[in-house]
Amino acid sequence: MQMEDLIMISVDDHAVEPPEAFIRHYPEGKKDRAPKIIDKNGKDVWSWAGRHYPTIGLNAVVGRPRSEYGMEPTRFEQLRPGCFDPKARVDDMNVNGILSSLNFPTMPSFAGGTFLAVPEKDEALLAIRAWNDWHVLEWCGSAPGRFIPMIILPLWDINETLTEMRRMSKLGVHAISFPDNPALVGLPSLHNEYWEPFWKECCALQMVINCHIGTGARAEHASEETPIDAWITTMPMSISNSAADWLFGSFWKRYPDLRMALSEGGIGWIPYFLERADFTYEHHHEWTFSDFGKERPSDVFKRQIVTCFIDDQFGLKNLEYMNPKMVCYEADYPHSDTLWPNCPEFLWASLLGQPQDVIDDITHKNAMRLYNFDPFTALGGRENCTVKALRYLGRDVDISPRENLGGLKTESMNLVGEARRPVTSGEIMRMFASA
C-alpha cells in the first residue's frame, strides 16, 4: 500500500455559516428574526436577538502563512471560500485527499452554546431548526457522500430535543453535537435522570454524541503572562476531565449501544488515562461504591467512546492500549491545527508499520460504521475515493498562501506582526474581548 491508496474520512472539521444560511430556512413571516450578517465598524458580525457575535470564522485561518495565524478573520473576504462555500470546500477536500468530512457549527458555537445561553428560547428553537436544515439540506446536500450530517439540539427542553432528533433522523442524520460537560453550560449534569430519554433515543436512532473540546469544560490559561503556546499545547487534553465524568456515568450499563466521541481530543494521553481509571476503580471502589460489575472502566471506554486525532504519532504507536475499532481521523479544517493541504503526507508518516486492516479502520472504516455513512456508493465505488483519485479531481485548486488577510488590516495584526516576543494568553484574551 502507498500513501495515494489511503481513503481518508475526517470526523472533525468546521463549517462557517454564509450570511444567508439562517434566513433561507426561517418560516415565512419570521425571516427578519433570523441571525444575519451586518457591517459594524468595517467588520462582518452576526446580529441576532438584539446581540452581536463578532467572531465570524473563529480561527478559520486555513491557507494563510503561519505567521498570520494569530489574526482572527473579521470579514468573509478574508476567509478561504472553502470555509463557508460547500462546493469550494469539496475542492479543498479533493486537493487534500479527504473523502468525507463531519463539520461542527461556528456561529452557534460547536454544540449550539450560543442558542443555549439566551433567555429567548422560542427564538433559539427557531435558530436551531434553521441551522439544522441549512446544514443537512444545503451544506451536506450539495455533495452527497462528501459530508457527514450532524445536528445541534434545544437541550434545555428534552421533549423538543427528542422531536428534533426524530425529525432529522428521517433525513439520514446519525450525529449530534453535544457539550462535553453540560453542567458547565447551565444544563443538568450527565448523571441526572433528565437525560434518560435522550440516551434511549440516541440508541434507537443510532446517533453518535460528539463532544468537541471547549463546549463545556475549557482549557484554562495558566496566567495572563503565560505564553499562549502553553494553552495551545494542553487544549486537546483539556477534555480529559469531561472524559472521566462520562466514563464513570452509570448510563453505559443501561445503554450498551450508546456511543460518544471526544472530538479533537487527541489520543496520545488515552493509555495513561485508562490505566489511571482502572487503578482508581480497583483501589477505591469499595468506598466510592462505583460499580462496573465484572468489567473495568477501560472496557467500557474501549467499547463505547470514540477517540479522534489530527497528528498523533505517539498515540498511534500505542494502539494496543486502546481499541483501534474506535479511533478516527480528523483534519480540523479550517482551524490553525489543520495540516491542509498535506494531511495525507502527515497521516501516512504516522501510520507506517501499522497492519493494513488497522490503517483502513482508522482512516475510514470506523467512521463509516459509527456514523452509518456510505460514501463509496455515492461516489460510484471505492476506487473513486482514494487520495490519488481525489487529488486528481483537485489538481487545479489554488493552494498558494493568502497573505495579509486580503490586504485588510485588523487590530490583531499588530499583536503578531510587530511584537517579536512570545505572545501571551492575556493578549489573546484581550484580542477576543475587544472584538
Q: What is the pLDDT of residue 300?
A: 98
Residue 225 has pLDDT above 50, yes or no: yes
Residue 186 has pLDDT above 70, yes or no: yes
Residue 393 has pLDDT above 60, yes or no: yes
- pLDDT confidence band for 291 (50 / 70 / 90): very high
Q: What is the pLDDT of residue 68?
A: 83
Three-state DSSP state, 305: strand
Distances in Å between the alpha carbon of 213 and those of 51, 61, 261, 328?
25, 18, 10, 16
Residue 104 has pLDDT above 80, yes or no: yes
Tell me the C-alpha distance between 296 and 304, whole Å. 13
**Which residue(s) pair with 424 in the sheet?**
227
- pLDDT confidence band for 328 (50 / 70 / 90): very high
> Which amino acid, 299?
D
Among residues 416, 397, 413, which one has the least CA distance to residue 88? 397
Q: What is the pLDDT of residue 405?
A: 53
Q: Assign residue 370 the CATH number of its domain.
A: 3.20.20.140
Residue 196 has pLDDT above 80, yes or no: yes
Q: What is the pLDDT of residue 411?
A: 42
- pLDDT confidence band for 428 (50 / 70 / 90): confident
Domain extent, residue 79, equals 3-434
Residue 417 has pLDDT above 60, yes or no: no
pLDDT tens by residue, 68-82: 887 678 899 999 999
Q: What is the pLDDT of residue 409?
A: 43
Question: What would the mean pLDDT of 169-175 be, rounded to a whole number?
Answer: 98
Q: What is the pLDDT of residue 414?
A: 46
- pLDDT confidence band for 180 (50 / 70 / 90): very high
Residue 406 has pLDDT above 60, yes or no: no
State the chain's mean pLDDT as an integer.
Answer: 94
Residue 159 has pLDDT above 70, yes or no: yes
Question: What would the mean pLDDT of 155-180 be, rounded to a whole number?
Answer: 98
Q: What is the pTM of this model?
A: 0.95
Q: Tell me which of 28-37, 62-71, 198-207, 411-420 is least confident.
A: 411-420
Q: What is the pLDDT of residue 201?
A: 98
Question: What would the mean pLDDT of 414-430 be, rounded to a whole number?
Answer: 72
Tell me the C-alpha distance between 349 and 392, whole Å. 21
Cell of 77: 473576504
- CB within 8 A of 329, min separation 6: which ones? 8, 9, 10, 11, 308, 309, 347, 362, 363, 364, 367
**How many distinct structural domains can be found in the chain?**
1
- CB within 8 A of 92, min separation 6: which ones? 62, 80, 82, 333, 340, 341, 394, 397
